[in-house]
Amino acid sequence: MFDRFIIDDRETPRFRVHRSAMVDPEVLARERAAIFDTCWLYVGHESEVASRHDFRTRRVGGRPVIMTRDAGGQVRVFVNSCPHRGMAVETRSEGNGRFLKCFYHGWSFDTAGNLVAMPDDEAYGPNFDRQNMCLPRPPRVESYRGFVFCNWSSTGPDLATYLGHSRTMIDLVADQSEEGMSVLGGTHLYSMRANWKLLVENSFDAYHAMTTHQRYIEMIKASGRDFSRRQQGPAAAGVARRGPLDLGDGHAVTGSVDTSGGDVMGALGRAFPDEETRARHKARRARLVELYGEEWTNRMLGGRNHLIFPNLFIIDLVMGCTIRTFYPDDPDYMEITAWQLVPNGEDERLRQLRMGNFLTFWGPAGLATPDDVEALERCQKGFAAHQAAPWNDLSRGMNGNPINSEAQMRVFWRRWNELMTGEVLPPEPEVLFDPERDGRRIAGLAAR
């Protein structure tokens, strides 16, 4: 395996990534062991199992899991593999039922994972250890503000420590409704013939928006949304770019601040369809200002593309909030799952606008996602010639210019490189998260 993946040259400055990282099966094998088997991985949102005995099945880090809410109301995560002979105990993607019954020989489990029935169980004798034939669990499961994670390793930092400053970015989403946030029913499920790290880059790549998504931008302009003011500078823009932040340990975010006072909704959303909808958005904003103050609300409603290393994005563009995770089955193939997170109790007109934005921008048949799929698959095709053209360039913004900087991608790659090779590359100091400047909500919470 090639072992010098990153050239991080601060003098020129120049940052390059070797394309073998995107094509080599040995790289993927090492990623499975060094990254997906050691990092906290997103399982789901607690609201997806809102009622007792709700369940959801999915893959996490390539492994089958079931998330349930048990009879006592506790959210649980199990390996979806029968302790008898391995069959997936639950084959439906979601549902509700007091028992999970294995289709193969009929063993049944309750939603807390206990084995409660086996056909003809007298053949096992009195000493057979039924108590310990419960559904297996991942070594660790923890949650933060409704976001449930598991870890396939029993050692390493707990979830809160692992998330670090990412918690502040999660707070900016989780605090958006006094009644909590929920994932809506329905899932976007799609795949790409591209390396998973290309989607890491793409999910917070501001540079590509105006070219790759030109058609979408034209449509939004046609809806009456005015982007011309934005180009004249942040003060007049209403939604000002804030640029990237290094949240530590490979987590990073890029985003903006909404200084419009509620005149626009989200960095890339369509115009308000009427004055009444605008008024309702302003009313919601006013309530958030009451709760959190003007400055924090400007950040909440500005939006952010937030990576929780290695493969979870919370992309809150305010006009829609996507939770997106993905996993590589091959160096050139990944499956992507995405959900929409919404504020509970949201005004119906605002919900309608949000869902319109969500479908037309983020949907697998929307106006943005298919363009991204096309772009990433074409990159992957280009990597077939990686021996002759071995390097990707991610230097943008290393000269200190934050406009469409790629610093957030370099944060990811440095952490990836550290876990894969042991080489520690120092962060870029100018984009480091500053708790004083960037973390006042946490400070405010502590003071309450």
Q: Could you give the string, one character per residue 353-392, with x where binding to ligand FES holds by CB under 6 A and - elsewhere? A: ----------------------------------------
Tell me how far apart the alpha carbons of residues 251 and 169 are, in angstroms, rounded to a whole number. 10
Q: Least distance from C-beta 274 to ligand FES, angstroms? A: 56
Cβ proximity to ligand FES: between 118 and 394 the closer is 118
Distance CA 278, CA 276 (A): 5
Residue 87 interacting entry, from Fe ion, ligand FES, none, C-beta within 5 to 8 Å by type: ligand FES
Across 140-200, where does the E strand assignment appear?
A: 140-144, 147-151, 181-183, 188-192
Nearer to Fe ion, 199 or 301 (CB): 199
Rounded least distance, CB 368 to Fe ion, Å = 5
Minimum distance of ligand FES from residue 54's CB (angstroms): 22
Q: Which residue is nearest to Fe ion (CB)?
A: 372
CB of 119 to ligand FES, least distance (A): 8
- With beta carbons less than 8 A apart as the criterion, state whether 317 and 340 touch: no
In the bound complex, what is the minimum distance in angstroms from residue 69's beta carbon to Fe ion?
35
The C-alpha atoms of residue 406 and residue 385 are separated, in whole angstroms, by 24
**Residue 49 C-beta: closest distance to ligand FES, Å:** 22
Q: Return the one option of Fe ion, ligand FES, none that residue 79 interacts with (CB less than 5 to 8 A, by type).
A: none
Strands 99-101 and 94-96: unpaired
Q: Which residues in 288-307 contact ligand FES (CB under 6 A)?
A: none
- The stretch among 124-132, 168-176, 281-289, 364-372 that binds Fe ion (CB under 5 A) is 364-372
**Whole-number minimum distance, CB 85 to ligand FES, in Å?**
4
Q: How far is the CB of 150 from ligand FES (least distance, A)?
A: 22
- What would the x/- binding string for ligand FES be over residues 96 to 135, using CB under 6 A? ------x-xxxx----------------------------
Looking at the DSSP bridge assignments, the partners of residue 69 are: 75
By a kind-dependent CB cut-off of 5 to 8 A, residue 85 interacts, out of Fe ion, ligand FES, none, with ligand FES
Closest approach of Fe ion to the CB of residue 269, in Å: 15
Nearest to 40 by CA among 61, 58, 64, 55: 61
Is the CB of 121 or the CB of 423 nearer to ligand FES?
121
Minimum CB distance to ligand FES smaller for 102 or for 200: 102
Nearer to Fe ion, 145 or 208 (CB): 208
CA angle (247, 204, 308) in 5-degree steps: 40
In contact, 66 and 112? CB cutoff 8 Å = no
> In a 10 Å sphere around its CB, with 0-12 CB exposed, 13-18 middle and 19+ buried, how is residue 125 labelled?
exposed
Q: Which is closer to Fe ion, CB of 201 or CB of 372?
A: 372
208 sits near ligand FES (criterion: CB under 6 A): no
CA distance readout (Å), 356 to 217, 221, 322: 15, 15, 13
Q: Which is nearer to ligand FES, 5 or 107 (CB)?
A: 107
Residue tagged 């917070």 (tokens): 204
CA 168 – CA 225 distance, rounded (Å):
30
Closest listed residue to residue 147, CA positions, set 36, 288, 41, 254: 41
Q: Which is nearer to ligand FES, 87 or 219 (CB)?
A: 87
Choice from 54, 90, 201, 372 touching Fe ion (CB under 5 A): 372
Rounded Cα distance between 341 and 73, Å, is 21
Q: How far is the C-alpha of 214 from the C-alpha of 113, rounded, in Å?
A: 50
Q: What is the 3-state secondary structure (H, E, C) of 229-286?
A: HHHCCHHHHCEEEEEEEEEECCEEEEEEEECCCCCCCCCCCCCCCCHHHHHHHHHHHH
Show the binding pattern over residues 72-101: x = contacts ligand FES (CB under 6 A), - = does not: ----------x-xx-x--------------
Shortest CB 351 distance to Fe ion, Å = 24
Amino acid identity at 240: A
The option from Fe ion, ligand FES, none interacting with 372 (CB < 5 to 8 A, set by class) reads Fe ion
Q: What is the smallest separation between the CB atom of 371 and Fe ion, expressed in angstroms?
A: 6
Total residues contacting ligand FES (rule CB under 6 A)? 9
Q: Is 205 left (phi over 0), alpha (psi -120 to 50) or beta?
A: beta
Cβ-based nearer residue to ligand FES, 117 or 424? 117
Please give the span between the terminal C-alpha atoms of the chain, in angstroms, as a whole number. 53
Interface residues with Fe ion (CB under 5 A) are: 372
Interface residues with ligand FES (CB under 6 A) are: 82, 84-85, 87, 102, 104-107
